[in-house]
Amino acid sequence: MAKERKLGDIATHLIHENERVRIWNLILEPGESSAFHHHTNDYITISLEGDRMRVEGEKDGPKEIDVELGDWMYRYAHEPHIATNIGKKPFKNILIEFK
């Protein structure tokens, strides 16, 4: 049996939380990775800065994504993964989880 990874927060700073939403800020410098984490709620992300990211899921292989200011995505809850800034600029986004 494979050793289970310890899960971390889904972003770097929790900005706001109430009974309906949780709002996070994710900031990653070039070469920096997020904690290995799991989204158990649907969420929206909005890109504020960055140029290229790699996301690697526990089951899926790596996926590279170009980032532009204002890009947004609605995502359903999904498998544990890690995000890495493979660009030349700091990566910043806002993530809004729906409870």
Structural domain boundaries enclosing 31: 17-98
Question: Does residue 11 fall inside a structural domain?
Answer: no
- Structure-token pair, residue 52: 């290229």
Looking at the DSSP bridge assignments, the partners of residue 56 are 62, 82
Q: Tell me the whole-structure pTM to 2 decimals.
A: 0.87
pLDDT band of residue 57 (cuts 50, 70, 90) is confident
pLDDT classification of 49: cutoffs 50, 70, 90: very high
- Whether 37 maps to a domain, the answer reads yes
3 pLDDT above the threshold of 80: no
Per-residue pLDDT tens digits for 70-82: 999 999 998 899 9
Residue ranges with strand state E in 1-99: 13-17, 21-28, 37-39, 43-49, 52-57, 62-66, 72-75, 78-85, 91-98
Cβ atoms < 10 Å from Cβ of 83: 22
Q: Beta 21-28 vs 13-17: how paired, if at all? A: antiparallel
Q: Please report, for the domain that includes residue 21, its CATH number.
A: 2.60.120.10
How many domains, in total, are found in the chain? 1
CA gap 73, 53 in Å, rounded: 14
The residue among 49, 36, 51, 23 whose CA lies nearest residue 83 is 36
CA dist 22 → 1, 57, 58, 71 (Å): 34, 22, 24, 20
